Amino acid sequence: MAAAAPAARILELDPAHPRAGRVVDDIVRMEKRIFPKHESLARTFHDELKRRNTGLIYSTPIPAGDGEDDGHDDEEGFGYAMYACATSLCASITKLAVKESRRRQGHGEALLRAAVESCRRRRVQRVSLHVDPARAAAVALYRKVGFQVDATVEGYYSPQRDAYRMYIDL
């Protein structure tokens, strides 16, 4: 059983917010640390976010103090989820990542549920994603939230590395 998540906020990036660039820069640094170079979106992250159909959800600590919530912190976030709505009916989770020190505390589930809910608000009918079958914890998380395996995509990550294509209908 996962430990209870420390106090955190789940926010959707508002590109117009004055500190949005700093939030994205923090996430790009996290992306570089978590993913191998050939799987990282670090080089194209800013361009991905410029697309109208792309959303970014991220998790940050709740600030100590007066309880004022301006939507952004000075402390780096715990994780993030990026999604893209390819059509008005279908979206995909393109990234989900949580800092290693914050894993198995509920952050990934909270981020995934928030990304799915953002897609639901856009009236998307199906959300899909790809995951390496060897990443058992990730597969278990997606199943817990309601995703199911649709197919195995051979050579998705590399010639000898397949992916499950998973989906959830909303």
**CATH no. for residue 43?**
3.40.630.30
Residue 136: inside a domain, yes or no?
yes
Residue 152: inside a domain, yes or no?
yes
Residue 37: inside a domain, yes or no?
yes
How far is the C-alpha of 166 from the C-alpha of 143, rounded, in Å? Answer: 9
pLDDT number for residue 17: 83
pLDDT number for residue 64: 64
pLDDT number for residue 3: 47
pLDDT number for residue 2: 47
Per-residue pLDDT of the chain (170 residues; tens, 9 = 90+): 444 555 788 989 988 888 888 888 888 888 888 887 777 777 777 778 778 889 999 998 877 654 444 444 445 788 999 999 988 899 999 999 998 888 888 999 999 999 999 999 999 999 999 999 999 999 999 999 999 999 999 999 889 999 999 999 99
Nearest to 98 by CA among 141, 54, 127: 141
Residue 47: inside a domain, yes or no?
yes
Q: How many domains does the chain have?
A: 1
Find how far residue 148's CA is from the centre of its chain. 18
Give this prediction's pTM: 0.83
* Placement of tokens 């990550």 in the chain: 157
Residue 3: inside a domain, yes or no?
no
Residue 67: inside a domain, yes or no?
yes
Residue 2: inside a domain, yes or no?
no
pLDDT number for residue 126: 96
Residue 78: inside a domain, yes or no?
yes
DSSP string, 21-72: HHHHHHHHHHHHHHS-GGG--TTTHHHHHHSTTEEEEEEEEPPSSS----S-
Cβ neighbours for 90, distance < 8 A, ≥ 6 positions apart: 124, 125, 126, 127, 128
Host domain of residue 60 = 8-169
* Placement of tokens 């209908």 in the chain: 169
